[in-house]
Amino acid sequence: MKIFVSTLVAAPLAEVWRAYNSPEDIKVWNTASPDWHTTASTVDFREGGKFSSRMEAKDGSFGFDFAGEYTRILPLQRIEYSFGERQASVDFSESAQGVTVTVSFDGEETHTEEQQRGGWQAILDSFARHVVAAQG
């Protein structure tokens, strides 16, 4: 099952691309809710390079590493990666209104499709807010 989420970021493409792939930015925007945060992020941004983000509940009750490997990078257009046995892609499409960022990912069996879409959408919306706020 492929799941899609999308958001419009009112910022220049180069800045949207940079913020999506910057470990320092990822630690700020990579959260689905205020009671979670990303405490560490590493990015080897090249095909075959690995990435990892440590996501934790702020109360310390739970945490996990979201990690994978970049499989294809088309600069300023598309990122493809694997995480475990699953695949995902991120598309960047520029328009007069800004940049539409669309993430497509393989769903998993533990959570419902609605739960997965909701979590990934919340993270993507957090990303959009972060980029716009950084623009001043």
Q: What is the assigned CATH class of domain 2-33+73-135?
A: alpha beta
CA distances from 95 to 49, 92, 128, 136 (A): 30, 10, 15, 20
Q: State both tokens at 71.
A: 């499989």
pTM for this one? 0.94
CB of 127 within 8 A of CB of 5?
no
* pLDDT single digits (tens) 26-47: 999 999 899 999 999 999 999 9
How far apart CA 60 and CA 65 sit, in angstroms, is 14
How far apart CA 102 and CA 4 sit, in angstroms, is 7
* pLDDT single digits (tens) 91-121: 999 999 999 999 999 999 999 999 999 999 9
Domain limits of the chain? Answer: 2-33+73-135
Which residues, 6 or more positions from 96, have their beta carbon under 8 angstroms from its beta carbon? none
